[in-house]
Amino acid sequence: MRLSSFLGLAQTVAIAALGALALPAYETNELVARDGQKYVFAHFIVGIVASYTQDDWTADMKLAQSIGIDGFALNIGKDGYNDQQLGYAYDAAAALNFSVFISFDFHYWTNDDVAAIAQNLTAYSAKPAQFKVGEAAFVSSFVGDGYDWGSTATQAGIQLYACPNWQSGSFAGASGVSCGFSWNAWASENNSPIDQNITTDGDNAYISALGSMPYMMPISPWFNTHYGPAPSYDKNWIFYSDWQWNLRWQQALQLAPQFLEILTWNDFGESHYIGPLHPDNTDVYAGGATGAVQWVTGMPHDAWRDVAAPYIKAFKAGAQSPTVDTEELVFYYRPSPKDAPCSDSVPQPTGYDDDDDSVFVIAMTTSDGTVVITSGSNAPVSIPVSAGITTVSAPMATGTQTFELLHGTTSAMKGSGDLQVSSDCTVYNFNAFVGSVTASS
């Protein structure tokens, strides 16, 4: 009762305030198109950082900002600590000139939650770090098909630039939507693994359904999740990601959408984080001792950010290819051969057999060279690369993984991964171990 009478009041105030201000969605699209500016965001799961301090937020944001990411999409469910953590996030961002916006997770929110969503948007969009298009506060979602963003803006009494993730990919009859965000960041068929590299087919279908509205393209390095069986948590599959990270960035340059959203900064449960690990803070691994901590501990992904940096620069410049300023070999590999018999009560994730038993290098070079991969006891494999960013691979063998870049016969850099590949394993871990070799390492 109290809620509905409050609502009535908010609505009246909102309509009065809006009169002269509201821009129809197409005019804000015009603004985006006219200034032509492109933006890159990273998806941040607020639900797993209950114990973050503002300093933790600042540290993560500095890392993101250092590779050209403009802001975090703050994914929220209905956790009691949202307001505290969103407060830290908006304050940390403001101090860094970084941007943030809320991404409502409709696994938790429903289409009937207009009043609560509007209330949150009124509160947070007034803060200086709120990402805006023109005067309109940017907002996004995970799912939420058919959610009424038009009524939300009216109730909130502000202009909104809504870029929701409608899984149907159909925006016919949408209210108050300015842009669309696909979640189709991995090769799959009906959300099941397939033995194929990702293509832009899903993006193109989404783009055509959007008509003239801008597209926010999802971009992700990996997917592995390995939670136990039903009824507790039936979630145990991979999407084929062997070549994905560099390939997806090439697709982003080619498609050149208005917005990119990296999936994700910190979703450890699905192994597609590019943010740092938090070894002293395992509650951020969603599921504690029985969950992601098993496939995330000791598995950094930080060096993947080094690949993103030149691509983000190229994306913002509208270039078709990235420019490498500093040479680096970014390598990644799984901790065990795929058929290693691990002492794990949960079977291998669905789709595991599609992975190749290979080790991979994304070579970032300023001139032509040769990448030499020595995997365990295998003989060294030499692969020529041209200047630029190229993914190469070699068959995986257990033991130490060593990577070298030659220019002619001169060694430019050489180093080994801190993790040995081993068949002696307690977890079917199809997450990637990521590291890098540079001239100074």
Ligand X SMILES: *[C@@H]1O[C@H](CO)[C@@H](O)[C@H](O)[C@H]1NC(C)=O
Please give the residue ranges that form the binding site for ligand X (CB under 6 A): 78, 83, 97, 116, 119-120, 123, 195-197, 243
Least distance (Å) between residue 209 CB and ligand X: 27
Residue with the CB atom nearest ligand X in the bound state: 116
Pick between residue 302 and residue 357 the one whose CB is nearest to ligand X: 357
Pick between residue 224 and residue 294 the one whose CB is nearest to ligand X: 224
Least distance (Å) between residue 345 CB and ligand X: 29
Pick between residue 83 and residue 353 the one whose CB is nearest to ligand X: 83
Least distance (Å) between residue 119 CB and ligand X: 4
- Secondary structure, 3-state, the chain: CHHHHHHHHHHHHHHHHHCCCCCCHHHHHHHHHHHCCCEEEEEEEHHHCCCCCHHHHHHHHHHHHHCCCCEEEEEECCCCCHHHHHHHHHHHHHHHCCEEEEEEECCCCCCCCHHHHHHHHHHHHCCCCECEECCEEEEEEEECCCCCHHHHHHHHCCCEEEECECCCCCCCCCCCECCEECCCCCCEECCEECCCCCCCHHHHHHHHHHCCCCEEEEECCCCEEECCCCCCCCCEEECCCCCHHHHHHHHHHHHCCCEEEECCCCCHHHCCCCCCCCCCCHHHHCCHHHCCHHHHCCCCCCHHHHHHHHHHHHHHHCCCCCCCCCCEEEEEECCCCCCCCCCCCCCCCECHHHCCCEEEEEEEECCCEEEEEEECCCCCEEEEECCEEEEEEEECCCECEEEEEEECCEEEEEEECCCCECCCCCCCCCCCEEEEECCCC
Pick between residue 32 and residue 293 the one whose CB is nearest to ligand X: 32
Pick between residue 122 and residue 420 the one whose CB is nearest to ligand X: 122
Least distance (Å) between residue 25 CB and ligand X: 23
Least distance (Å) between residue 192 CB and ligand X: 15
Least distance (Å) between residue 292 CB and ligand X: 26
Pick between residue 353 and residue 424 the one whose CB is nearest to ligand X: 353
